[in-house]
Amino acid sequence: MKQSEVVDLIKLIDRTYKTDYAGDEEIVKDWFKVLKQYDFNDMTDSLEYYMTNYTDYPPKVYNLTKGYQTIESKKILDHAKTRCIFCNKEIDFTDEEHVNKCRSIEFIKSAVRRFKNQDIDKERYLKMSKEEFQKYYNASIDLVINNSTNEREVNMWKKYKENL
């Protein structure tokens, strides 16, 4: 990951959690030391997941890297198999698309359960095309925005939608 990408992540944290990490060169330098080993898309997904589930406190570097492989490790493990941490299906170790979709399904499940008191059929969502799935994902974001009483959570999702 480039230093400018680390700064972009930190700025998103600053906007969401009302911090000023990006203004502190030491924090940027420390975060870059760790995050330069990781893929920007992985860390963006991790930050999105963190912000969805932990709205009260800004993440530490560990919260973003937990469960992710470095770029170098991914190259080594390119043909290895693992189990998805969300659905437990066997997948290629580097199948980020599957893991990201499952993470998004967990968000949909959480939103529907919180605000509609219903369960969802995960398999149905896994089988959807990207376009169809995105419609449901966006509807779930709207569900949170329109029903959550947590101002920080609502503002975070509004900012997320602005950046789509």
pLDDT of 15 above 80: yes
Query: 75 in helix, strand or coil?
Result: helix
The pLDDT of residue 74 is 82
Residue 80 binned pLDDT confidence (cut-offs 50, 70, 90): confident
Query: 33 in helix, strand or coil?
Result: helix
Among 28, 30, 33, CA closest to 4: 28
Distance separating alpha carbons of residues 28 and 8, to the nearest angstrom: 10
The pTM (predicted TM-score) of the whole model is 0.57
Query: Average pLDDT, stretch 70-87?
Result: 85
Distance separating alpha carbons of residues 34 and 76, to the nearest angstrom: 19
Distance separating alpha carbons of residues 136 and 115, to the nearest angstrom: 15
Domains delineated in the chain: 1-76 (1.10.8), 95-164 (no CATH)
The pLDDT of residue 114 is 94
Query: 92 in helix, strand or coil?
Result: strand
The pLDDT of residue 163 is 78
pLDDT of 56 above 90: no
DSSP single-letter state for residue 23: G
H or E segment and range at residue 82: strand 81-83
Distance separating alpha carbons of residues 77 and 81, to the nearest angstrom: 8
